[in-house]
Amino acid sequence: MPSSRGTVRRGAQLPRIRLEPKYTYTDGLDAADLAESYGMRPDPWQKMLLECWMGRDSDDRFTCTTCGLAVPRQNGKNAVLEMRELYGITVNGESILHTAHEVRTARKAFNRLASFFSDSVRYPELADMVVSIRKTNGQEAIILNNGGQIEFSARSKVAARGFTVDVMVLDEAQELTDEQLEALMYAISASPNDNRQMIYTGTPPGPTSPGEVFPRIRKSVIDGEADDRTSWHEWSVENLPSQSEDRMELAYQTNPAMGIRLTEEFTMTEMSTSSADGFARERLGWWSGQASQSVFSPSKWDACRIDDTPSHGKIAYGVKFSPDGASVALSIAIKPQEGKPHVELVNHCSMRDGIGWIVQWLDDRLGSYACVVIDGKSYAGSLIEELNMMGGFPSKIIVSPRVKDITTSAQMILNAVNDSSITHFGQPELDDSAKGCIKRKVGQDGSWGLGSSDSADSTPIESCSLSYWGVMTTKRDPNRKVRLL
């Protein structure tokens, strides 16, 4: 955007959040000069990052063991990684492992860096350093004659087993899970150069991101609890913008590449086609209250609200006991022959009231519903036993979900909300539970379920997810006309 002086306006080169350990000297400016000599001219903010990341103390060790970068997409974080990696393997002789969430992302990073070492005409001095370039899919690597090397890999729970490296690059860090980190962390414990560094780069996590690591590092920075060898640079807005705020102005504050690689024209297109929270997260760097672990988009949840309940259809109930046994929630789901499935909270109360009321509720309506799904280690067994003792409950009507069923139920209701293929009443207690719940780890394979946050009890929405899963998967159908409540 031209200014009054005729110059082109550029995005903010300094981040809103900046944490940098002090260093005695740095290789960062040399790394920037090397990159520029090969056609990668760093922006001011990229030079700042290189200076910080490659700062050293009086013992010649990196002052940053943990480097975090959170910046909206398409600003140039991959380019600054290339600059860091190019200098690291050619000058420092480092061993680097570059990881990404997806195979194709890791492959693209390899292709970009390998292009400098594969062109003996344009870059003969780099080509002369090459011992080998391995292009096998999933095993890409560049190995140099000075001992420097870089390998590229998509992350998994067994990634980096057998690797020993100096520097670990974790791109798409918003997707990084604890299990994946555990598989990667120990690859740098025996650093060949005895100078370790882990670089996390990513964007604010979306509602379906499974990652726990990136937001945890950020929280330690925000809370002032990060160790003295952690750096963090974040371009972001602090709060979800209001309707009165100038979002284009905010885009300049949160995107250092505005006016360089990003244009106002396309940013306007993003603004007009994205949801308010989607644009805030993806372009303005907004971290929602629960960051990556937040499950439901508040705007998408609200979009599923209706005023009238379907009066006919297949019905299932869901009962969820809180992990500490302090409360229980009962919800109902109805699947009409035509139209969208509907969920509703029947009751959420303290366990001081016992479980007799649930038994009575289900017994009074026996024959009108297809199944009841019951979960919660604290009292689920007792409720199932009492229902069985009553004698009138068919064996298949009571469902005790397995671990994979719990994760499936969470994913199913999330997908339904995102697709607007489910409805609810907009009950305040259920709204608060849905909008405030977070992801909790379930099992050992990276799966997740719904969990409570500091500000919200997930028990109501969990009971809804169970009833929804039940009504969508059960083969039983009493086929009767019923009222919901």
Could you please report the per-residue DSSP string of 255-313? -TTBTTTB-HHHHHHHHHHS-HHHHHHHTT-PPPTTGGGB-S-HHHHHHTB-SS---BS
Would the pLDDT of 81 be above 50? yes
Lowest pLDDT segment from 11-25, 214-228, 281-295, 379-393: 281-295
The answer to which of 199-203, 215-219, 445-449 has the lowest mean pLDDT is 445-449
pLDDT band at 294 (very low <50, low <70, confident <90, very high): low
On the question of pLDDT at 344 being above 80, the answer is yes
Q: How does residue 159 score in pLDDT terms, banded at 50, 70 and 90?
A: low
Mean pLDDT of the 234-257 span: 94
Nearest to 88 by CA among 125, 62, 109: 62
pLDDT score for 3: 42
Range in 195-199, 206-210, 424-428 with the lowest mean pLDDT: 206-210
Q: What is the 3-state secondary structure (H, E, C) of 114-142?
A: HHHHHCCCCCHHHHCCEEEEECCCCCCEE
pLDDT level of residue 167 (50, 70, 90 thresholds): very high
Q: Are 476 and 371 in contact (CB under 8 A)?
A: yes
Q: What is the pLDDT of residue 187?
A: 79
One CATH from 3.30.420.240, 3.20.20.70, 3.10.580.10, 3.20.20.450 for 299-473: 3.30.420.240
pLDDT at position 390, please? Answer: 81
Amino acid residing at 155: R
Average confidence (pLDDT) over 228-243:
94
Superfamily of domain 17-234: P-loop containing nucleotide triphosphate hydrolases (3.40.50.300)
Band the pLDDT of 293: cuts 50, 70, 90.
low
Q: Write phi, then psi, for 103 (nearest 5 degrees).
A: -60, -45
The domain spans of the chain are 17-234, 299-473
> Within 10 Å of residue 102's Cβ, how many Cβ atoms?
13
Q: Parallel, antiparallel, or unpaired for β 17-19 and 230-234?
A: antiparallel
Q: What is the pLDDT of residue 482?
A: 47
Mean pLDDT value across residues 443-451: 77
Q: Over the chain, what is the mean pLDDT?
A: 90
What pLDDT shows up at residue 300?
85
Given this model, what pLDDT does residue 236 score? Answer: 97
Q: Are strands 371-375 and 448-451 parallel, antiparallel or unpaired?
A: unpaired
Mean pLDDT over 94-109 rounds to 93
- Amino acid identity of residue 29, one-letter, is L
Q: Please tell me the pTM assigned to this model.
A: 0.65
Question: Tell me, what's the pLDDT at 478?
Answer: 78
| Helical ranges in 274-342 per DSSP H | 276-282, 298-303
How many Å apart are CA 160 and CA 150, to the nearest integer?
13
